[in-house]
Amino acid sequence: MKRREFIQKSALTTVGSMLIPNFLKAYELEHLITNNNLNGKILVVIQLSGGNDGLNTIIPYQNDLYYQNRPALGIKKENLISLNDELGLNAVMGGLKKIYDQGYLSIINQVGYPNPDRSHFRSMDIWHTASASNQYLSTGWLGRYLDAQCQQNCTSAHMAIEVDDSLSLALKGDKIKGLAMTQPDKLYKNTQDKQIKTLATYPHKHEKDENVAYLYKTLAETVSSAQWIYEKAKITASKATYPENDFAKRLKTIASLIISGLETQVYYVSLGSFDTHTNQKAQQERLLKIYADAVDVFVNDLKNNQKWNQVAIMTFSEFGRRVAQNASGGTDHGTANQVFLMAEKLKKAGFYNPAPNLTDLDEGDLKYSIDFRNIYAALLQQHLQVEPKTVLNQNFEPLALL
């Protein structure tokens, strides 16, 4: 039996789950300490979970069809932040406007994929794996990026960290997986349990069963790696003042790790839920404000610590919402949506492409004009400096983004 299959199927995995915190289960830590960020570039992915309503985020305030479809939900011109003669920003997103004004934001409209799926779980899987809508993959696009780097130089494999209690499919490769944790100190404290430390110091090299030895080895590396991350983050913790909410605190954790010089190329964080079928306005605007305010502080934090020139931030949601409001003061699952890309040097700051076409819909939904995998291809080629086809498994023309 292959080692990977053993880890998944063995009863020892159940035993381990009582000893190892949930956020460690998904990660195989073989290369964490020896990781080397080859080009110094860092990608931060922000997931707006639940399907954010793009039309009430970037508002086509000059389009009568927008207001006809949203007589109660439509945001009037006097209640938004104008970005140009056609499109405006939700008024609660003043923090994002600051980034926009500095030329650090590119807004990519009408992003989606062929034959869209309106299920949260399936559409998120498609975005996580970069699969076609009729294709099912067990590895994520960022996990395959880690695998590709390992093939080039396994002694310097890159690492990805998700600031959460569990690991998203996007960061799961076949050979290498990301690490999920909420805070370095929490990770460290959980690995200081007496039972865990005893197991971690077990002389696994003498264990006759290769698979069992591998479990001990992984645990030992987890304990040592947790201490390493904790010590690095503690020395150079961010001194910036972030808003008092979980999402902002998670961005502060990422900022601290970046500022510390931790050799990590990918960070992942989520905010939700944007599933606004009823009473949308209050819920969406609360979340959009949390997002915009936190990202504003995050970008300034990186700038003040001379790290902004290394970082690109991509924000996406698994789908947008339908053009027309529903009878419950909300919107239902739709298709195409915006993607936000932030970086110090962009090929095209502001709006990358035209506003959504509200006269040409697919049964009440926006039609996509840009495949999200063309964005992935650009980030892989222009930022992470890897051949996109090795990760995406087919040719997607990179957009001129960075």
CATH number of the domain at 41, please: 3.40.720
Nearby residues of 275 by Cβ (< 8 Å), 6 or more positions away: 50, 51, 120
Residue 66 falls within a domain, yes or no? yes
Residue 399 lies in a domain: no
Residue 64 belongs to some domain of the structure: yes
DSSP E strand stretches across 17-143: 42-48, 58-59, 80-82, 88-90, 105-112
Instruction: Measure the CA–CA gap between 80 and 153, rounded to whole angstroms.
Output: 49
Chunked into runs of 10 residues, the chain (402 residues) has average pLDDT values of 45 36 39 52 98 98 98 97 97 98 98 97 98 97 89 52 93 86 80 67 58 62 68 79 98 94 92 97 98 98 97 98 98 98 98 96 96 98 96 97 98
Closest CA to 350 of 92, 120, 83, 160: 83
Asked whether residue 397 is assigned to any structural domain, the reply reads no
Give the model's pLDDT for residue 354. Answer: 96
Instruction: Write out the residue range of the structural domain in which residue 205 sits.
Output: 3-392
Residue 232: what pLDDT?
A: 73
C-beta of residue 315 within 8 angstroms of C-beta of residue 93: no
pTM above 0.85, yes or no: yes
Tell me what pLDDT residue 176 has. 81
Q: What pLDDT sits at residue 188?
A: 77
Residue 196: its pLDDT value, please?
66
DSSP category for residue 328 = T
Q: What is the pLDDT of residue 218?
A: 57
Q: How many domains does the chain fold into?
A: 1
**Is position 401 within any domain?**
no
Dump the DSSP string for 226-248.
HHHHHHHHHHT---S---SSHHH
Whether 45 is covered by a domain: the verdict is: yes
Give the pLDDT confidence score for residue 371 in this predicted structure.
Answer: 98
Per-residue pLDDT, 286: 98
Specify if 402 maps to a domain.
no
